[in-house]
Amino acid sequence: MTSALLARLELRPMTLADLDRVPLRCHGSREEIAARIADLGAAAILAFDGDRHVAQLQFRRYAPQRRSPTGIWDPLYWGDFGEHAPALPENSIAVFCYHVGQTEDSDARDAAYQGHGIATALLDALVVWARDHGIAALVAKCTPPPYAVMSFMGGLSAARYAERGFTLLSSWLEPQVLEVVRERRLVPGDEDAVAAATVGCCVKRL
């Protein structure tokens, strides 16, 4: 069921006109954002509640050789599939991070916007936008399913991607995520911690 909050949101692609209107955290420099918009036509799917920015889903052109310099602590992590990087057409895009409840340019999140299906609505809007713009495929790194881990990482689980027609191609234990899960006690028990630190590569061909 669609929540009343979700129904009133405006979802649209991020263009150059948004550079001074929306949070830019995790995007990189303004020059990098402008270059991505010039290349793809947009850099994210944005969600507005009236005039207020409340969420965004970032994306970039897929580059199988992309590597994150600091693993999960750098936004490039979302496009770094390492040895699991699939062979995809050049005009494919990588789904990056979800910022649900982001009303300012910080890591703070407004909990009032969480739990309403905004993340999956952003993904649905991205799929439509990508298909309309001739994108061949979407690749996404899925997070472990526990909500505490998904929330920390800013992603979606394999199950959520499967509901949207994505196929899970591979999965692997992410040591840095395991360290965080244990340190922050995001799930109970060491056995559950291993499952809660397993990520994967999901692909949807358009």
pLDDT of residue 65: 98
Alpha carbons within 13 A on the beta-carbon side of 140:
32
The model's confidence at residue 188, banded by pLDDT at 50, 70 and 90, is confident
Give the three-class secondary structure for 50: coil
Q: Is the pLDDT of residue 1 over 70?
A: no
Q: Which two tokens stand for residue 177?
A: 């995520």
Q: Does pTM top 0.85 for this prediction?
A: yes
The ranges assigned to domains in the chain are 4-173+201-205
How far lies 110's CA from each of 52, 68, 196, in Å?
A: 12, 28, 24
Give the three-class secondary structure for 46: strand
pLDDT (tens digit per residue) in 94-144: 999 999 999 999 999 999 999 999 999 999 999 999 999 999 999 999 999
Q: Is the pLDDT of residue 23 over 50?
A: yes
Could you tell me which of 162, 202, 205 has the C-alpha nearest to residue 81?
202
127 CB-near residues (< 8 Å, 6+ apart)? 138, 164, 165, 204, 206
Average pLDDT, rounded, for the chain: 95
* Strand ranges inside the chain, DSSP E: 10-13, 44-49, 52-61, 92-100, 137-142, 167-173, 198-205
pLDDT of residue 2: 62
The class of domain 4-173+201-205 in CATH terms is alpha beta
If you count them, how many residues does the chain have? 206
pLDDT (tens digit per residue) in 46-83: 999 999 999 999 999 999 999 999 999 999 999 999 99
Mean of pLDDT values over 174-197: 90
* Strand ranges inside 6-162, DSSP E: 10-13, 44-49, 52-61, 92-100, 137-142
Mean of pLDDT values over 162-168: 98
Express as a percent the part of the chain with pLDDT over 70.
Answer: 98
Q: Is the pLDDT of residue 163 over 90?
A: yes
Could you tell me which of 86, 118, 85 has the C-alpha nearest to residue 101?
118
Q: Is the pLDDT of residue 169 over 50?
A: yes
Q: Are strands 198-205 and 137-142 parallel, antiparallel or unpaired?
A: antiparallel
